[in-house]
Chain A
Amino acid sequence: MDFLRGLMLGQYVPAESPVHRLDPRTKILGTMWLVGVLFATRSLAGLVVLTAFLGGVLAAGRIAPAYAVRGLRPVFWLVGIAVVFQVLFGDSGGHVLFRRGPLVVTRENLAAGAFYGYRLILLVAATTVMTFTTSSVELTDGLERLLRPFRRVGVPAHELALMMTIALRFIPTLFEETETIMKAQMARGAEFARGSLVARARALIPLLVPLFVGAFRRADALALAMEARGYRGGEHRTRMKELRVAVRDYVAAGMLLVVAAIVLLPPSVWRAVAGR
């Protein structure tokens, strides 16, 4: 009965792998690039190529495929809903497969629904692969560095990164605390999964009040600890781990370009390349 554990979407999996060692900036930009390609492609073949590529990254990152699929489970619901909407409310016209009263299912809508659903899964999978292989500290370091050029136009890069670090840092803590408080109230006879909707909403009060009190207490303690260590924001801070772009990052970038080319260039171009 590990409450809530299933919700931990794409939690970092520490391991030694070429993907883990990549510069976080490469992984962030690479993921954005993949998402872009994902939305640009109109063909099923493109999605298949991207699936194969993500599978390859997962294998190189030493993530068990079964674990990755488990992490995607919550998304399947969303995808299911999206597909149903597409099928029910998509364009009229086309080959009718099924008709009952106002309900019309066409082959075109079904295919489009499957395509969009699959794309959504791949979208989440791409970002999950990144979070599987990048610790939250690396992630925010990379993000801060990427945002630095925008400081000139008033983007508080360091502060944003710090907020993100803190938020990410406390997510597992809050989950743990939620679990403990739930159990503690259950030990006093509370029920969280029984009764009417109103009863269930009311049952959350004994959970939420202590959770908020605890979050404020933690925030207080953290602020005090940071001040006690002389924290003064982003100016003149040096880092223990400097980000450096290595050869493997260029290799990864090259692979991303090749994948994009395969997916996006129309078949005629490839035929011309092959024919020459």
Chain B
Amino acid sequence: MIRCEGVTYVYQRGTPFEATAIEDVSLEIAAGDAVGIIGATGSGKSTLVQHLNGLLRPTAGRVYLDDVDINAREVDRRRVRQQVGLLFQYPEHQLFEETVTADVGFGPRNLGLGPDEVRHRTARALAHVGLDPAVFGPRSPFTLSNGEMRRVAIAGLLAMEPRMLILDEPTAGLDPASRREILDHIMRLRSARGLTIALVSHSMDAVARLCRRVIVLDRGRVVAEGATRDVFADPGRLAALGLGVPQVAECARLLRERGVPVRPDVLTVDEARRAILDALAGRRPAPKNVP
């Protein structure tokens, strides 16, 4: 479990470029949970998640992993980073090794594991993201497609075998098919391995599909927090913060405006289909102006 208490971070302190990125952020991510972190550009999402594995040290406030202050002097930050994997934006930009296998094995090698264990974990991690180790392992990462490179980068984190995975815009800049595929893999990892997930995304659809809870940031502060369904049921509030809602929720809202009494809190296409059929069949109490 990760807990932030009053975390504030100021960039370039003591210079004319000083800027407060996040201010007094407190939050908790329970083990096994899937939390979405949303907010307009510049709201401090990326800065916040870099505190969760000790890459940034808060200017004020504390970050706890299982009730241990991760910035305490005696804590080994490398162990924290092994347990809390952080996937940066455009992670394919960090690939550097000659082969996919070697690149995915970078993390396990840094953990000081033996060659057998490294090979094991590498193969397993590649399989988790749907890449056949025998086919992709020996290839150069620079010959892969964008979506494949992204998946290799994710495998590089999975090979560390973290308990928690923080994903900063994992699907940005990919085509719809690759986007869906990566989200599918993440969902499968969550259900199969019980990974705790924190997803930073501009894609409300991705958040709706993956997350049980949502934290909304605005200009460095937490302004809303709650179950995904409840947060997305209030499109007016989100629009005021420069955010949208999942496409199906928007669709439901438009239908309601036109007099079809669809439930407001739909998150997935399946739910929307059922809700619309229910509404059309009149199984829910319809407003008076609808025949």
Contact = CB atoms under 8 A, between A and B. Distances in A.
B16 A67 contact: yes
Nearest to A209: B96
Given A187-B53, A187-B86, A13 B16 contact: yes
Contact of A186 (B55, B57, B111): B55
Nearest to A189: B110
A187 B110 contact: no
A5 B10 CA distance: 13
A13 B95 CA distance: 35
B251 to A, nearest CB: 36
A189 B93 contact: no
B81 A187 contact: yes
A214 B110 contact: no
B81 A186 contact: yes
Given A189-B82, A189-B110, A180 B16 contact: no
Nearest to A71: B15
B160 interface: yes
Contacts of B12: 2, 5
Interface string A2-25: 100100000001010000000000
Interface string B57-90: 1000000000000000000001001100111100
Contact of A187 (B14, B88, B142): B88
Nearest to B16: A13
A66 B14 CA distance: 9
A177 B89 CA distance: 11
A64 B110 contact: no
A180 B88 contact: yes
A6 to B, nearest CB: 10
B54 to A, nearest CB: 9
A121 B224 CA distance: 52
A192 to B, nearest CB: 12
B223 interface: no
Nearest to A5: B12
Interface in B92-141: 93-96, 106-107, 110-111
A189 to B, nearest CB: 3
Given A2-B11, A210-B96, A188 B160 contact: yes
B105 to A, nearest CB: 10
Contacts of A188: 81, 106-107, 110, 156-157, 160
A190 B77 CA distance: 11
Contact of A214 (B57, B87, B93, B111): B93
Nearest to A187: B86
A213 B141 CA distance: 12
Contacts of A181: 93-94
A62 to B, nearest CB: 9
B55 A187 contact: yes
A183 B88 contact: yes
Contacts of A209: 96
A210 B14 CA distance: 31
Nearest to A64: B16
B14 A191 contact: no
Interface string A166-205: 0000000000010011011111111100000000000001
Contact of B110 (A5, A183, A190, A213): A190
A191 B78 contact: yes
Contact of B57 (A1, A180, A189, A213): A1
Contact of A185 (B16, B50, B94, B111): B94
A67 B12 CA distance: 12
A70 interface: yes
Contacts of A191: 78, 110
Contacts of A64: 16
A70 to B, nearest CB: 7
A52 B93 CA distance: 48
B91 interface: yes
B56 interface: yes
A167 B78 CA distance: 35
Nearest to B11: A2
A210 B78 CA distance: 22
Contacts of A213: 93, 96, 142
B180 to A, nearest CB: 24
A70 B88 contact: no
Contacts of A205: 96
A257 to B, nearest CB: 31
25 contacts: A1-B56, A1-B57, A13-B16, A15-B16, A64-B16, A67-B16, A70-B14, A177-B93, A180-B88, A184-B94, A185-B94, A186-B55, A187-B86, A188-B81, A188-B107, A189-B78, A189-B81, A189-B106, A190-B106, A190-B110, A206-B94, A206-B96, A210-B93, A210-B95, A213-B93
| Smallest CB-CB A-B distances: 9 pairs | A189-B110, A209-B96, A188-B107, A184-B94, A187-B86, A184-B88, A183-B55, A206-B96, A13-B16
Interface of A: 1-2, 5, 13, 15, 64, 66-67, 70, 177, 180-181, 183-191, 205-206, 209-210, 213-214
Given A184-B88, A186-B81, A213-B93, 8 more contacts: A2-B12, A5-B12, A180-B93, A187-B86, A189-B111, A191-B110, A210-B93, A210-B95
